[in-house]
Structure 1
Amino acid sequence: MTYHSVSERVRQRNVLNVGVSLGFKGLSVRDPIHNRWEGFDIDLARAVAAAVLGDSRKINFIPLQTSDRFTALRDGVIDLGTFNASITFQREADYGITFVHPMLFDGEVLMTPVTNLSEPVCEARMTRKRRVAALRGSTTQENLRNYFDRLGLDCDIMLFDSPLQARQAYQNGLCDLYCLDYYLLAGERAQLPNKEMHIILHDRISLEAMSPAVCSHDPAWISAVGWVMKSLIEAESLNICSKVVDEVYREADGYTKTFLQPGEGLCRRLGLLPEFTREVISQVGNYGEIFNRNLGDKSALKLERRDNYPWASGGMLYSPLFI
């Protein structure tokens, strides 16, 4: 394979094949009315399409079960995975994939009906029954066992192939708890008909960093996708959003100019368009815009960013320098 094998294949096809989850509100959901995918993970994929093809709409989204995500990436069925996957040692070693850059810091939590609490204390130790719904092929099963072992409590873990199956089992009373990453679980709770009767417990089962993933065989593609992700974070750190990027571009000097005009030769070595950062911000926005639109203040979920601020603002997001 040539050094630019993936980016060249994407350009020849003129479309980016992207693996996404089967559907999580706020992360990746297909709008049946407008026949389009929306969400935080979807916008990360759109940023890559803008940087490589110049058009954030040139994407073929392929929904995948949790257990099939990494084999699809390894086997070349998809060029990119933005399926809210946790970065783990085992996944990179087993499947020959690479997580490009942490883009969402989260952690697994539990939801339960109010009626399953023996006392008005929102903790797992106060639950009466512990049949836990979780997704097959995720990190959840092992994390749950470790956590409940530390608490000295028994639990019965029930695995499902899709979030819809897990949510229905929980909603129908087949499971007493539902375990997912916080941002995912908040979206699942929002879809329950009587959501106020369900509580996300204070227990934090794990701390996980989520990242888009690519196959490991192409170093240039790994770098390209990684720098697209970093550009979203750096743009917010520099206060460059979609509304002002063109104005900032015209007046840019110093480091801001270097960021918005990285150099045609450097970009082409990675299979990126010249001035790809400008394209990404113009078409998709910076990290803050993406978060607020899908998960934060401007979304239906209105979730807090928690750890997901740039490091200079007290968060865990960071970008190396564009020099």
Structure 2
Amino acid sequence: MKFTKIALLLSSTALLPNLASAGTLEQVLEKGIVSCGVSTGIPGFSSADSKGVWEGLDVDFCRSVAAAVLGSADKVKYIPLTAKERFTALQSGEVDLLSRTTTWTATRDTSLGLNFAGVNYYDGQGFLVNKKLGITSAKELNGATFCIQAGTTTELNLTDYFKSTGMEYKAVTYDTSGQTIDGFKKGRCDAVTSDASQLYGLRLKMDDPNSVMVLPEIISKEPLGPAVRQGDDAWFNIVRWTLFASLEAEELGVTSSNVDAMLKSKNPSVMRLLGTTGTAGENLGLKANWAYTIVKEVGNYAESFDKHVGKDSPLGISRGFNKLWNQGGLMYPMPIR
């Protein structure tokens, strides 16, 4: 009986997801850098400038994790990944974290050995068309040819939408967003469909951005967020609370410019956030000032949003659903207490 129980125990533990990934925090501390999977180039989210410096909303999240864990937002190794490559890279341990405009879905959350740490951008799928087509609605796209990126939720959403509306379409698939927009620019398709936020970025890559338009219809829910491997709760907790800390800082009015002055705050919530009281850092296996370093070096969520995709960026996207919960949006940080 004892041997039978042992055998059953061994066989059951073999089914647990990615036990080998346990200890990511220790590995990151040892190598002194966070390996972060990003896109091959999506303006506003993750792209390299002319000097090879990575920037964007997703890049800022990578930097925030590095700031929390290693005390410096610069200790990040960016690994560009196509949509097809991203999950394998995370599963295999090539990257410690995936921060790459990735939609949180049931299949990805349950069958790929991934854990989504939260949502850092609420999005939805839309359509980009050339104004020369003379259309103003997705309902006029019957028979159109679409340029789409392979390995994304975009393909299934497009199929569902056209099936539900009784329309037909043709698809031309590409591996990267850059190839997708190039196909559109070369006239190989009538329209591009992707997350609406990406379409605004892709629009900027056109020779004449004013020659194209994003149609008003949004056909899906695309909650985008960072993901880690299953089986490593300590690392998952750090990544999740890094997101919450950025949002909590915005809610409390703590910014990169006033965070030093806020160290003297007597507001209990601010004190817990910045580590002048409480045990949040200790509970995460980090220093007491982990969240202070995030805000000091990267900024709060609003600062990052406005700089890369919002009012201070070329994209100029409205906060919309990405406003805080107390401002009519969906962003709701869990309390640090």
Q: Distance in 1 between matches of 2:60 and 2:180?
A: 25
CA offset at residue 2 of structure 1? 9.0
Question: Which position in structure 1 is the counterpart of 2:210?
Answer: 196
Deviations 1:258-299 (A, max 9, x none): 222176854244232222111100000000000000011111
Find out whether 1:288 has 2:302 as its counterpart: yes
Find out whether 1:91 has 2:108 as its counterpart: yes
Q: Distance in 1 between matches of 2:285 and 2:85?
A: 28
The alignment's C-alpha RMSD in Å is 1.6
For 1:24-63, list aligned pairs within 5 A: 24-33=42-51, 35-63=52-80
CA offset at residue 253 of structure 1? 3.3
Find out whether 1:239 has 2:253 as its counterpart: yes
Amino acid across the alignment from 1:98: N
Question: Any conservation in 1 of the 2:21–2:93 contact (CA below 8 Å)?
Answer: no
Runs of 5+ in structure 2 lacking a partner? Answer: 1-18
Find out whether 1:108 has 2:125 as its counterpart: yes
Find out whether 1:5 has 2:23 as its counterpart: yes
Find out whether 1:66 has 2:83 as its counterpart: yes
Q: Structure 1 length normalisation: TM-score?
A: 0.95
Find out whether 1:17 has 2:31 as its counterpart: no
Question: Any conservation in 1 of the 2:128–2:212 contact (CA below 8 Å)?
Answer: yes
Question: Any conservation in 1 of the 2:126–2:219 contact (CA below 8 Å)?
Answer: yes
Runs of 5+ in structure 1 lacking a partner? Answer: none
Please give the secondary structure, in 1, of the residue aligned with 2:36.
strand
Deviations 1:211-239 (A, max 9, x none): 10101120011011100000111111111
Q: Distance in 2 between matches of 1:93 and 1:27?
A: 26
CA offset at residue 103 of structure 1? 0.9
Amino acid across the alignment from 1:46: R
The structure with the largest alpha-carbon Rg is 2
Runs of 4+ that moved beyond 3 A: 1-4, 262-266
Change (3 A) 1:190 1:219: same
Please give the secondary structure, in 2, of the residue aligned with 1:110.
strand
Q: Distance in 2 between matches of 1:254 and 1:168?
A: 52
Question: Which position in structure 1 is the counterpart of 2:329?
Answer: 315
2:146 equivalent among 124, 132, 139: 132
CA offset at residue 4 of structure 1? 6.6
Change (3 A) 1:262 1:209: farther
Q: Distance in 2 between matches of 1:128 and 1:267?
A: 55
Amino acid across the alignment from 2:254: I
CA offset at residue 32 of structure 1? 2.6
Name the count of aligned residue pairs.
319
Q: Distance in 2 between matches of 1:2 and 1:114?
A: 52
Please give the secondary structure, in 1, of the residue aligned with 2:207.
coil
For 1:115-126, list aligned pairs within 5 A: 115-117=132-134, 119=135, 122-126=136-140
Percentage of identical aligned residues: 30
Find out whether 1:270 has 2:284 as its counterpart: yes
